[in-house]
Structure 1
Amino acid sequence: MARVDRSILILFLSGVAATIIVFALSGSWEAAFACGIASLFGVALLFDAQERGATTALARRPEPTTRGPSLEEIDTVLQALPNPCFVVHRGRIERCNGPALALLGRHIAGQDVRLALRHPAAIDLLAGANVATAPARIEIAGLGTAEQSWELDVQPIQEGRLLVLLFDQSGRQATERMRVDFVANASHELRTPLAGILGFIETLRDPVAGADQTTRERFLTIMDSEARRMQRLVDDLMSLSRIEAEKYRPPNQPVALPPLIEEVVAVFRQGQNKRGQDVVVEMEVPMPPVRGDRAQLSQLLHNLISNALKYGAPNTPVTVRAYKLNEGMAAVSVTDHGDGIMPEHLPRLTERFYRVDSSRSRAMGGTGLGLAIVKHIVQRHGGILHLDSTVGVGTTVRVELPLFSAPAGEDGPAAS
């Protein structure tokens, strides 16, 4: 109960008590009635004073402010943002941050927004007949480099001002293009052998053409080759999918490179391809183990040696070297002596389905995914991939992998 409310109650009770005392001492109802009236009058005066005080306090209470942030506050926020952003007022760029000046030019401050943005939809939102009165978002191109794509967000803030924020969407666009290209390339790689197989089946069903034993054997051999090519393609796609799914789980097992290399090279030497005998191995002894996934490193070596045997000149050696570097890393390199690769092709060799010579690669049974798989394996292992080639001399692919080190106070597992 408030202090004033208690005072009214005390005054009222005191009046009642005074009225009773007056009646008891005087025995007069008139005197008691007069005393009661006086007490009620005092209560009324006190209540009126309370109401007047409350009304005055309410009248003096400050109005709640509806003022938005000042321009200085807006400018402070703009300068703290990492993305290009600026404020437009009556068609002019009133304030902008450093990234906006770097992207659009230092001349834009205080200038007409049409000098900074030449996109019709953006101009219409910021200075045209349909100037934004509610949050809006559009995609624009032509800012920065030709390959860049931007998302432009417009937010009305105060007094007709518009806050414009630019978000670089180039990475998302590039990822989408890669996805579309991947689906198109995978479809093409599967459709080409399938079309051949279906054509051969149709020929073999012909009573005349299919009756010739020589034709049947030739067609069946080609169909078997195309079917196995599709199988290799599907296997490589599944391998690539598994490696990408594990890329955020780096391996942490010791892997001894010398026995692994000898194991992979033995597969080629014992195969039907006589080129397997051209593989030469050079290794440092002793060789510390690397940190890795043994199955994936085996696949990496298999892909590199297979490529070198395919594209190296006949009867020339393919050299596999393993050695320790000085930076806590070990290196494995595979060198062939072939036609080499033009410098402009080197940056794209690890793209999926990219081929320098498509017809030659397909004729040799390549899927176009070998080096893409190698790149993802190296990335998962925290390593580095180097591609060096000289036209007319040959190509060297070098992979650098971190050496295994057990956590402090623990003995690591034996190298596999």
Structure 2
Amino acid sequence: MTPFFPSWAVLRQRLGERRDLAFLAGFLSVASVEAGAHWLFAVGAFFLAMAFLCLRGSSQQRAEQAAAKAEAGPQKEAPRLSEASAIAVFEALDLPALMMDADGTVLFQNVAANRDFGMLEAGLHVSAKWRSPSILDMMRETVRSGRPNQVEHSEFLPSERVFMVRIAPLALPERAKPLYVMTFRDISELRRIDRMRSDFVANASHELRTPLASLRGFIETLLGPARNDTKAQERFLQIMLEQANRMSRLVDDLLSLSRLELKAHLAPAQTVELAPVLTHVRDSLAPLAAELEVDVRLHLPDDGVEVVGDRDELIQVFENLIENACKYGQEGKVVDVALRKLDNGAEVSVIDKGPGIAPEHVPRLTERFYRVSVADSRSKKGTGLGLAIVKHILTRHRARLIVRSDLGQGTEFTVRF
């Protein structure tokens, strides 16, 4: 409601808008004094004119406000979200989301949640899918306080994933008590990037220290005692080239491993025919096999065998396995590569006739930089990362690596899809 006596700022604005009336009121006041009227009469006449001006301005302002409201039309109330509308919004979300009651019973789960976690039937308690104490405690705290909460949650099967889980109350007009919305935001890539940075620095600094020390030592020798020794220079430069190549292979493998870790939680979606992949790998390794005097023999079924996977990554897997079999099983002279179709998938076995691996080493073969024999690995230009790369690729493909070995009888690496 507009007050009768406006503020001085408003009064000045109205006086400015109605200069004719203000001037007339002042003139009449002065004229009445000149005509012999008492000065109190003049002052009273001036204030009456001012009151008329205020009343006129207030009524005019109210009229303008009423006209503006009429032009805008009737004001609409804010829409109230029904349960059906809330479910439609849930379905449109790209984040996995669940709607629950105060007891933790799941009432609805959207398509993104079905895709990431599998179908959870309505009516089941949320603990049927997530038994994490942190999630259940967070849910109870939100029900008690009515305030949103969030917590970080990790899952390790089929691959490691990290989620920021948030729960918040949802008031609906059809329900006397609020419902609760739980959403899952995948932060796995952020965590992997952080871990990749720290791991890369640690691994690179550890593995590059030895070749860098060798290079520095040979350079100091060439600049000092061997400055004029041509034969020593040739021999040292050859060793320095080998060490530089080793560092290059190591950096390439570390970068490859880091890239694989970033997308370990994303399963491939393409279909790959395995027989052409194995044939391609055998042909690409033919020069190495000939140099080592090893015969790589393929055993392929008549029917095609397809798996869901990434062709380039599967080539990398079988290149690592067959190359290792040629290098470390060189004594046996033969490497057999067999492809078999199974009822629920397929498997590829790479078998050598070499010296085999002691049982205590087998469980650790896929660890980074783990070597059964450091001297043997370096003499064969290994980086200690080949089987770690194989493991990461197969984890992304939801496949398994099975190792069987007996001392003196060779080793068999089997990839089972």
- TM-score normalised by L of structure 2: 0.51
- Deviation of 1:284 (Å): 1.1
Contact 2:348 2:415 in 1 (8 A): yes
| C-alpha distance in 2 between matches for 1:246 and 1:233 | 21
Residue 216 of structure 1 pairs with residue 220 of structure 2: no
Q: From 192, 196, 200, give the equivalent of 2:214.
A: 196
Tell me what 1:405 maps to. Answer: none
Alpha-carbon distance in structure 2 between the residues aligned to 1:262 and 1:277 = 16
Distance 1:224 1:263, change over 3 A: same
Q: What amino acid is aligned across from residue 388 of structure 1 in structure 2?
A: R
- Aligned residue in 2 for 1:318: 335
Name 2:392's counterpart in structure 1. 376
Residues 284-295 of structure 1 mapped to structure 2, 5 A cutoff:
284-295=301-312
Q: Which residue of 1 aligns with 2:245?
A: 228
Aligned to 1:346: 362
* 1:314–1:275 CA distance, 2 compared to 1 (3 A): same
Q: Is residue 403 of structure 2 the alignment partner of residue 387 of structure 1?
A: yes
Cα offset for 1:398?
0.4
Matching residue of 1:264: 281
State the secondary structure of the residue aligned to 2:330: coil
In the alignment, structure 1 segments of 5+ residues that lack a partner are: 1-80, 85-175, 402-416
Separation (CA, whole Å) in 2 of partners of 1:255 and 1:355: 32
Give, as a single letter, the amino acid of the residue that structure 2 aligns with 1:245: L
> For 1:24-45, what per-residue CA distance to the aligned partner results, in whole angstroms no more than 9, with x for missing partners?
xxxxxxxxxxxxxxxxxxxxxx
Distance 1:210 1:325, change over 3 A: farther
Measured after TM superposition, the shift of residue 271 of structure 1 is: 4.1
Runs of at least 5 residues in structure 2 that lack an aligned partner in the other structure = 1-130, 135-193
Distance 2:379 2:405 in 1: 22
1:400 aligns with 2:398: no
Question: 1:90-101, aligned counterparts within 5 Å?
Answer: none
- Per-residue CA deviations over 1:238-284 (Å, capped at 9, x if unaligned) read 11111111112111111111111111111111348612652111111
Q: Does the residue aligned with 1:314 lie in a helix, a strand or coil?
A: helix
The residue correspondences of 1:79-158 to structure 2 (distance < 5 A) are none
Question: Does structure 2 conserve the Cα–Cα contact (< 8 Å) formed by 1:283 and 1:321?
Answer: yes
Do 2:204 and 2:251's aligned partners in 1 also have CA atoms closer than 8 Å?
Answer: no
Residue 361 of structure 1, aligned match among 359, 367, 377 = 377
Kindly provide the amino acid, as one letter, of the partner of residue 200 in structure 1: F
* One of 223, 232, 235 as aligned partner of 1:205: 223
State the one-letter code of the partner of 1:254. T
Structure 2: how far apart are the matches of 1:339 and 1:183?
A: 35
SS at 1:340 equivalent: coil
- 1:187: Cα distance to partner? 2.0
- Could you say what secondary structure the match of 1:204 adopts? helix
Match status 1:300 vs 2:317: yes
Give, in whole Å, the separation in 2 of the partners of 1:213 and 1:273: 34
> Which whole-Å CA distance do the structure 2 matches of 1:282 and 1:82 have between them?
47
1:240 is the counterpart of 2:290: no
Matched, 1:251 2:292: no
1:89-116 Cα distance to aligned partner (Å, 9 max, x none)? xxxxxxxxxxxxxxxxxxxxxxxxxxxx
Q: Counterpart of 2:180?
A: none
CA–CA distance in structure 1, aligned partners of residues 371 and 195 of structure 2: 18
Question: In structure 2, what is the equivalent of residue 411 of structure 1?
Answer: none
Distance 1:253 1:180 in 2: 32
Task: Report if aligned partners of 1:275, 1:315 keep a CA contact under 8 Å in 2.
Answer: no
1:315 CA drift (Å): 5.2
- 2: CA distance between counterparts of 1:335 and 1:362? 22
Q: Is the 8 A contact 1:338 1:393 kept in 2?
A: yes
**Distance in 2 of aligned mates of 1:250 and 1:300:** 16
Structure 2 distance, partners of 1:82, 1:223, is 54
Among all aligned residue pairs of Structure 1 and Structure 2, give the percentage whose two residues are the same amino acid. 50
SS in 1 for 2:305: coil
SS of residue in 2 equivalent to 1:266: helix
Question: Within 1, Cα distance between the matches of 2:390 and 2:293?
Answer: 20
Q: Is the 8 Å Cα contact of residues 294 and 326 (structure 2) preserved in structure 1?
A: no
